[in-house]
Amino acid sequence: MKKTTAFKVLLVLAISITITSCKRSSSSNSSRATGWDINSKDGGFQYNTKFQEQETAPGLVFVEGGTFTMGQVQDDVMHDWNNTPNQQHVMSFYMDETEVTNKMYTEYLDWIKRIYPPTDENFKAIYDGALPDTLVWRNRLGYNEVMTENYLRHPAYGEYPVVGVSWIQAVEFANWRSDRVNEMYLENAGYIARDAKITSVEAGQTFNTDTYINAPKEVYGGNDSLTNPQNTRRRPQTTASGDTINVYAGRETGIISPKYRLPTEAEWEYAALGLTEVRSYNIYRGRKKYPWDGQYTRSGRRKIKGDQLANFKQGKGDYGGIAGWSDDNADITNKVKSYQPNDFGLYDMAGNVAEWVADVYRPIVDDEFNDFNYYRGNVYTKNAINEDGTVKLVTTDDIVYDTLPNGKVVARNLPGEILQVAVDENETYLRSNFDKSDNRNFRDGDKRSSRYYRDSFNEDEFGEDGDKNSMTSKMYNSPKHHVESDSSGQLIREYDKSDKRTSLINDEVRVYKGGSWKDREYWLDPAQRRYFPQDMATDYIGFRCAMSRVGSKSKGRNKSKN
């Protein structure tokens, strides 16, 4: 009897010791580096040890990255040699389910109008610079005034893709959207006073993500009452020594989302193809010409057989087809989600409107130098720092405006944002991965990128039209129009009248992808690429946003092998 009792006691002790040992070894609140407690009430290192995975932000769908053949793999009737096939690998990311719509963009305009009233002369250029160009609908020999007057704002077009937006305006929209979403996340988590985003903001007192991370007391124009735990739903956490911790949310909390941005060309093409549809084990069974499987633009499914799978120009004078079942149900753009999504769940990756992507255009894709997350357009910057070591914020008195070559004025830095400056030798010295701030011209095929280039050949020495200089810049010798304001504020526009220009390509032209309502079937192929000045807009180019994925490549474990 005694032996049995003793055995039971020893068994219980052994199980208890094992459980305790397992708990300690698997505990996420104990540092594997030091053994110290993480998130201790007494203070010390604070970290989100319960983070699972990135939350899908509003409007986005997940696109699992992988390897694919970027570039033309089908017909190349244009013979422009600017999309030669090359193998690329794209990291997982998120992309807007649909193109940005008129309703989404007018919400942006409404916010700007409330915070920076155009009736105030100091802010008029901010609102005017964000407005889409509604005159893109006009045609010398066509009557389109109904679109000019109604397309952007009438609720009948609310769910139609926004057009008349330049690449610059699309980037500014993405920046604004990043701040509004992170502002909502922080409010929901209790770090910001409820409804502060509506009731407590004005010019110079707005929320900016980078400012919150680098100088949290300076958001909302330094109105720290909106982030003070006494005025939020988050209880102040006080250590044994009386210090208050976890007042602000850093990146280590996992609450702050990566930024919305334009997708890179490689990301857009990969997402548009939706190659998982033709995957068989670890290979692709064939190639895809369109975002859907097959060689035709009409559906072969029995229920909707013969229906067009996208909105595009079917022939000369034919923007929709004969009225009835064979019609693609649109003549200009169409309501988003009017056609079936591709295998990633993305709508209108062919037709409707073509879309801006982030890349600077060059006729070549340098896959020999980089075949991972390819992107041309990196301009590295850093936060401007005051003499006292604090970050330099833009105020209402020093908003940064940019006068574009077409004479339009846009705001590039708004009050409350951190002023950005180019990286310098402090960041580039003895680095092997980058050596300067502006990398748009890196290995782009001209003489400057080759071993034959000599620094003595420059515009200052020979003049921008000189014969000797042309050997280094002929490939991108594009027109240089000049715009400036006179003493009365009137714009003086000077057109480049040189007869020695050889190209329309420069550092301010961007790639746009996909066919539109105005394009023939050929351009529906996701591999096709074209370019347009970043400061100009059309009636057939829109955009959608993307967001980088942080953490694991896939959601959950690997899926079924077939």
106-117: pLDDT as tens digits: 999 999 999 999
Q: Identify the residue with better confidence: 247 or 536.
A: 536
| Confidence (pLDDT) at 18 | 55
Other Cβ atoms closer than 10 A to 367:
17
Under a CB-based contact definition with an 8 Å cutoff, are residues 252 and 48 in contact?
A: yes
Q: Identify whether the C-beta of residue 194 lies closer than 8 Å to the C-beta of residue 138.
A: no
Q: Are 285 and 275 in contact (CB under 8 A)?
A: no
Helix %, strand %, coil % of the chain (to 5): 25, 15, 55
Which has more confidence, 217 or 302? 217
Q: Which residue has the tokens 């993307």?
A: 546
φ, ψ of residue 156 to 5 degrees: the values are -65, -25
Q: Which residue has the tokens 């255009």?
A: 361
**Mean pLDDT to the nearest integer, 225-230:** 84
Beta bridge mates, 94: 62, 547
Q: Is the pLDDT at 466 greater than 80, yes or no?
A: no
Q: Concatenated DSSP letters for 367-425?
A: TTT--BS--S--B-EEE-B-TTSPBPBP-TTS-EEEE-TTS-EEEEE-TTSBPEEE--H
115 phi and psi, to 5 degrees?
A: -85, -40
pLDDT in tens, 21-52: 444 433 458 899 999 999 888 888 889 888 98
Average pLDDT over residues 176-199: 94
What is the model's pLDDT at position 118? 93
pLDDT digits (tens, 9 = 90+) for 229-278: 878 888 777 877 778 888 899 999 999 999 999 999 999 999 999 887 76
pLDDT for the residue 366: 86
Going by the DSSP 8-state scheme, the letter that residue 503 receives in this structure is -
Q: What is the pLDDT of residue 364?
A: 86
Report whether pLDDT(502) > 90: no
Mean pLDDT, residues 366-391? 93
Taking 80 as the threshold, does the pLDDT of residue 189 lie above it?
Answer: yes
547: nearest Cα among 307, 256, 324:
256
Q: Which of 311-325, 422-436, 472-486 has the lowest mean pLDDT?
A: 472-486
The whole-number average pLDDT for the span 44-67 is 92
204's CB contacts (< 8 A; 6+ apart) are: 221, 395, 396, 415, 416
Q: Look at the pTM and tell me if it is higher than 0.75.
A: yes
- Compute the half-sphere exposure of residue 376: CA atoms within 13 Å on the CB side of its CA: 21
Query: Does the pLDDT at position 497 exceed 70?
Result: yes
Confidence of residue 280 (pLDDT cuts 50, 70, 90): low
Phi, psi of 126 (to 5 degrees): -65, -50
Mean pLDDT of the 92-109 span: 98
Q: Residue 424 carries which side chain, given as an amino acid letter?
A: D
Q: What is the pLDDT of residue 536?
A: 95
Q: What is the pLDDT of residue 169?
A: 96
Give the pLDDT score at 484: 80
Name the helix (H) or strand (E) containing 172: helix 167-188
Q: Would you state the pLDDT for residue 384? A: 95
Considering only CA atoms, which of 393, 407, 493, 395 is closest in space to residue 128?
407
pLDDT, position 126: 94
Say if residue 173's pLDDT is above 60.
Answer: yes
Identify the band that residue 286 occupies on the pLDDT scale cut at 50, 70 and 90. low
> Is the model more confident about 327 or about 335?
335
Q: What percent of the chain has pLDDT over 70?
A: 87
| Residue 475 clears pLDDT 70, i.e. is over it | no
